Amino acid sequence: MNESHTAFDQRFEAGESVLAALDLSAARRPHPERTPDQEIARISHDPAVMGGRPCIRGLRITVAMVLNLMAGGASRERILEAYPQLEPADIEAALAYAARNALSA
């Protein structure tokens, strides 16, 4: 088990929500080549795809799925290996979307 997974487990077991226990600080920093709105533009909401849940670029891969994988300890590299249709910017977009929506809730 890696250190970040252990830290997540400790924070989650202490009663924090999944979004609060995830370290989203990197998602809050803007990408040097993209604006936050450009990153979040990669997230789509289509009632015909996954019941309208937030998906990445219209794929049947939800933001929640990416967050759950990361919360379970999967690295960005492992997620990209498992889902070759994803791009690194998609993971950044999912984190940015989650951070923006968690902070506005």
In the chain, pLDDT over 90 holds for what percent of residues? 54
Helix (H, G, I), strand (E, B) or coil at 30: coil
Proportion of the chain in helix, strand, coil states, percent, rounded to 5: 55, 5, 40
Quick one: fold of 3-104?
Answer: Arc Repressor Mutant, subunit A (1.10.10)
Give me the residue spans of the domains in the chain: 3-104
Name every residue whose Cβ is closer than 8 Å to that of residue 86 and which is 6 or more positions away in sequence: 56, 59, 61, 66, 79, 80
* pTM as predicted: 0.65
pLDDT-based confidence at residue 102 (cuts at 50, 70, 90):
confident
> First vs last Cα of the chain: how many Å apart?
31
pLDDT value of position 92: 93
